[in-house]
Amino acid sequence: MVVRMRHTRAHRDNRRSHHGLENPSVTVDVKSGVPHLRHRASLVTGEYRGRKVIDVTAKLDKRAKKASEKKAEGR
């Protein structure tokens, strides 16, 4: 059977023109001045849109406790 449509380089490249990478959008936090990705909570302060959504200190404490348990287990 005959291939009816041509797939030229121009057509292919026009389609691929939308595949380019863009720089990520970064926002600076008003209170702390720490940059973070848009529409995501700040990993430093744990805040999103002025509200505390992640308890960063508890997360760090949990990670440290897990690391110390793993270190004690390895001895």
Concatenated DSSP letters of the chain: ----S---HHHHHHHHGGG---PPPEEE-TTT--EEETTS--TTT-EETTEE-S-HHHHHHHHHHHHHHHHHHH-
pTM over 0.75: no
The tens digit of pLDDT for each residue in 12-50 reads: 899 899 999 899 999 888 888 889 999 999 888 888 888
Residue 63 confidence (pLDDT): 92
